[in-house]
Amino acid sequence: MTELTPIGLLAELTHRCPLGCPYCSNPLELTRANQELDTKTWTRVFEDAASLGAMHVHLSGGEPLVRKDIAELTNAAHLAGLYTNLITSGVGLNAQSLTELRAAGLDHVQISIQGVDPTRADAIAHFKGGAKAKREAARVVVEEGLALTINAVIHRGNIKDLPAIIDLAVEWGAGRLEVAHVQYHGWAIANRASLMPAREDFLTAAKLVEDARKSLEGTLVIDHVIPDYYAERPKACMGGWGRQVIVVTPDGRALPCHAAATLPGFAFDNVKDRSLAEIWETSEAFQKFRGTAWMPKPCQGCDRAEIDWGGCRCQAFAITGNAATTDPACALSPEHTKLREMATADAASGISTYRFRRIGG
Amino acid sequence: MTDPAPKLAPGVKLRKDAKRGTVLLGPERILELDDIAQAIVAEFDGKRRVSEIAAALAKEYDANADDIRTDIENLLKDLTQKGYVKP
Ligand code: SF4
Ligand code: SF4
C-alpha cells in the first residue's frame, strides 16, 4: 500500500503516427492498431485515475488524433473530472476537429515542432507538409481561445535555431514553450550519434533560455528539459518512480515511466486485468523503485535522495546494464565519465543520417 | 498606480480537489492555494479591478483595504510570473 497520490495519467492512446521523428520516445517495438485498448476500457481508466486523485490526463501517443474516438475519449476524461491535455504533432488538427474536441471538454493543446524552416522540419519528421499543418493547427487552437504549448525537441540538427524557435512560439501565440532536449530512450538511443549536440551548444542554449525567460516574463512560460548527458545531477524522472505519474500504453500496460517497458525482469500489470488503484498501490512494478529503500551507494544517504530519487532507472539500465544503480547522469555515479565520453564522441561523430521511427522498423 | 483587472490565463482552471484543497491547474502544472490566495483568485474574473477586489474583500473579512491590496498585488505578481494569471 502507498499513501502517494498520482498527479497525472499519461495515456498513450496509440503508437500509430504519420510522422517518423528519429527521437521518438516510443519503444522500438511499436504496438499495432488491433492491440489498442477500446473506448470503454480507456473510459474506465480515466475514471479510476480521477478517483485515485490524478488531476491531469495527457492524451498522447503516437499521434492521438489518429484514434477515431478521440473526441469521445476526451469527453470521457473531461467527465471524469480530469484536466485534459492533448499532446499532438498537430497533423490532423483543423478547425473542424478542434471545435469538436473543444466541445468534448479539451482544456489544452500541446503541438510539437521540429524547427522553424519548413523543409528542414519536415525532413526531421520524415513527413512532407507537416510544418504547414502544424502552423495551421496552432492558428486554430489560438483562434478558438484554447491554451497552446509549443514543444520543440532540441538536438544537434536544430540547437542553433533556438532563438528563432522562441520567436516562433511567441508569434504563434503560445502561452508556454517546452524546450525539450532529446531524452535518450526508445528511438532516440538508436539515433544518438546523429542527435547529440556539442556541450558548448547546450550551454549556449541554456543561457538563451534563461535570458528569454526574463525578457518574455508574463508572455511566455518556458520550461527547459535539459539533456541528461551534460547534467551534473539527474532529473527526478517522472517526479520519482511511482510517485506522480502513471503511464498506460496503447495495449493497456501500466508503467511508472514511459520507457519502463524496456527494463528486463518485470511483469507489468495490464489495466484489462486489474484496476488502476490496485496496480498503483500493490503492483510489483510500481513498488520496485518507489522511495529510497532500493538505493545503492552513492544515492543511499545522499541529501538529494528524496529530490531526484536517484534519477532515471531506464537510463541506468541502458548505460550500465543494471536498473538498480545510480543514474549515470549524476556526477557522483562511477559511470558518469563514461556517459560524458559517449556524448562527446557522439557529438563529434559527424553522422547525420537518421533511422526514422516506423512500425515494424 | 496601475489598477488591472486580472483573469486566469488561457488553459488555467480553478478546481477543488478532495486531497489537495483548492488548486490552480495548468498544462503540466498544479499549484495548491492557501485560504487567502484562494479567496483572492476566486475574484479574478477579468472584469473587476484590483482596487475593487481589495475593497470587497476588506469588507467581507473586516480588514484594512490597503493591506489586502498589497496581498493581492504580491499574489498577482507571483501568479503572473508563473503564467497562471494575466493582469
Ligand atoms: S515524436 Fe514524432 S514520431 Fe513520435 S509520436 Fe511524436 S510526432 Fe509521432
Ligand atoms: S547520488 Fe543519487 S541521490 Fe545523490 S544526487 Fe546522485 S543520483 Fe541523486
Hey, whose CA ends up nearest to atom 5 of ligand 1?
Answer: A62
A43 Cα to chain B: minimum distance (Å): 20
CA distance A4 to A52: 9
Q: B51 touching A, CB under 8 A?
A: no
* pLDDT, mean of residues A119-123: 90
- Strand order across the B29-32 sheet: B13-17, B21-26, B29-32
Ligand 2: centre distance to CA A336 (Å): 12
Question: What is the A131 CA–ligand 1 centroid distance (Å)?
Answer: 13
The CATH label, of 3.40.50.2300, 3.40.140.10, 1.10.10.1150, 3.90.1110.10, for the domain at B10-82 is: 1.10.10.1150
Q: Cell numbers at residue A83, please?
A: 484536466
What is residue A48's three-state secondary structure? helix
Instruction: Give ∠ CA A140-A144-A148 in degrees, rounded to 5.
Output: 70
Average pLDDT score over residue span A174-197: 91
Question: What is the model's pLDDT at position A76?
Answer: 98
What is the pTM assigned to this prediction?
A: 0.92
**B13: confidence class by pLDDT, cuts 50, 70, 90:** very high
**According to the model, what pLDDT value does residue B32 have?**
94
pLDDT at A295: 95
What average pLDDT does the segment A13-20 reach? 92
Residue of A nearest to B19 (CA): A53
> What torsion, rounded to 10 degrees, do the Cα atoms B66, B72, B75, B78 define?
-90
**Banded pLDDT at A1 (limits 50, 70, 90):** low
Tell whether the model's pLDDT for residue A360 goes beyond 70. no
Nearest to A178 by CA among A223, A211, A209: A223
Domain boundaries, chain B: 10-82
Q: What whole-number percentage of chain A has pLDDT above 90?
A: 75
Cα A23 to averaged position of ligand 1 atoms, centre (Å): 8
Per residue in B52-72, pLDDT (tens digit) is 999 999 998 888 888 999 999
> Whole-angstrom Cα distance, residue B40 to residue A70?
36
What's the rounded Cα separation, in Å, for the pair B28 and A330?
A: 25
CA atoms within 13 A on the CB side of B5: 6
**What's the grid cell of residue A39?**
473506448
Give the model's confidence band at B22: pLDDT under 50 very low, under 70 low, under 90 confident, else very high. very high
Structure confidence at residue A58 (pLDDT): 97
Mean pLDDT of the A69-86 span: 97
The residue-averaged pLDDT of A206-235 equals 91
Interface size, chain A vs chain B, as Cβ–Cβ contacts under 8 Å: 56
What is the rounded distance in angstroms from the CA atom of residue A232 to the CA atom of residue A91? 37
Q: What is the ipTM of this complex?
A: 0.86
Q: Is the CB of A246 under 6 A from ligand 1?
A: no
Question: Could you tell me which residue, A251 or A238, shows the higher pLDDT?
Answer: A251
Burial category of A207 from C-beta neighbours within 10 Å (exposed 0-12, middle 13-18, buried 19 and up): exposed
DSSP-derived secondary structure letter, A79: H
Q: A124-140, pLDDT tens digit by residue? A: 889 999 899 999 999 99
* Confidence category of residue A165, pLDDT binned at 50, 70, 90: very high
Of the candidates A55, A146, A217, which has its C-beta nearest B25's C-beta? A55
Facing B13 at nearest CB: one of A53, A83, A145: A83
